[in-house]
Amino acid sequence: MEDGVTATQVVFWILAVVMLVSAIGVVTAGNIVYAALFFIAALAGVAGIYLILTVEFLALVQLLVYGSAVVILILFALMLTRARERPQALFGRSRPIGIAASLGLLAALIGGIVATTWTTPATSSAIQPVGLQTIGDAIFTIWIVPFIIVGVLLSIALDGAIMLASPDEDDN
C-alpha cells in the first residue's frame, strides 16, 4: 500500500484542509464569537489527525479538555469583556507587518522541512499503532515525577486564576 494515495491519506488531507481553513477563520473573523466557533472546528481537526496517527487517548483528551473546557472558558471571557460602547477595530495598526512576518516564518519552516532528509520507516505499514497501555506505562513509570509536578502546577494555577478574577472585598 506504499504506492499511490491511500484512504488514510485522503482523510488526512480533508482533516488538514478543514483544520487550516478554520484556523484562518480564527485569525481573520470579524466577529469574536465566530472566531471562537472556528477555534472549535480547528481543535476537532487536530483531534482527527491524532486519530489518524493512532493516538486515540490524545484525541479524547483533546476533545474533553480543549474542545469543551477551554472553549467554554474562552466564551465566558469573551462575553464578560465585550466592549459595549463602540464597535472596535479588531486588528492592530501593524497588521501588514504581522502578515509579512508570519509568511516569512512559514517560508523558513517549509524550506527547512523540505531540505531535511527524514529517516522514517520506508513503508507506512512498518508504523505500529501506539496503544493506550504503552502511554500509561510511560506516564506512570518514567514520567511519574513530572506528572505529579504538573498536577500541582495545575491546581496552583487554577487557585491563582480564581484569586485574580474574584472581586476585592474593599471594592464595593
**What residues numbered 26-65 form the site for another protein, per CB under 8 A?**
26-27, 32, 35-36, 39, 42-43, 46, 49-50, 52-55, 58, 61-62, 65
Site for another protein, residues 82 to 101, rule: CB under 8 A: 83, 88-92, 94-95, 97-99, 101
CB of 58 vs another protein, minimal distance in Å: 6
The whole-angstrom separation of Cα 13 and Cα 26 is: 20
| Cell reading at 125 | 505499514
| Cell reading at 91 | 486588528
Nearest to 160 by CA among 170, 169, 152, 172: 152
The torsion angles phi and psi of 9, rounded to 5 degrees, stand at: -65, -35
Would you say 113 or 169 has its CB closer to another protein?
Answer: 113
Query: Which amino acid, one-letter code, is at 153?
Result: L
Residue 7 lies near another protein (rule: CB under 8 A):
no
Which of helix, strand or coil describes residue 86? coil
For another protein, the binding residue among 12, 18, 41, 56 (CB under 8 A) is: 12
| Per-position x/- string for 100-129, each x denoting binding to another protein as judged by CB under 8 A, each - no binding | -xxx-xx--xx--xx-x-xxxx--x-xxx-
CB of 145 vs another protein, minimal distance in Å: 12
Would you say 42 or 169 has its CB closer to another protein?
Answer: 42
Would you say 120 or 170 has its CB closer to another protein?
Answer: 120
The whole-angstrom separation of Cα 151 and Cα 82 is: 32
Would you say 119 or 170 has its CB closer to another protein?
Answer: 119
Distances (CA, A) of 159 to 74, 75, 152, 153, 168: 18, 20, 11, 10, 15
The whole-angstrom separation of Cα 97 and Cα 102 is: 9
| Per-position x/- string for 138-157, each x denoting binding to another protein as judged by CB under 8 A, each - no binding | xx--xx--x---xx-xx--x
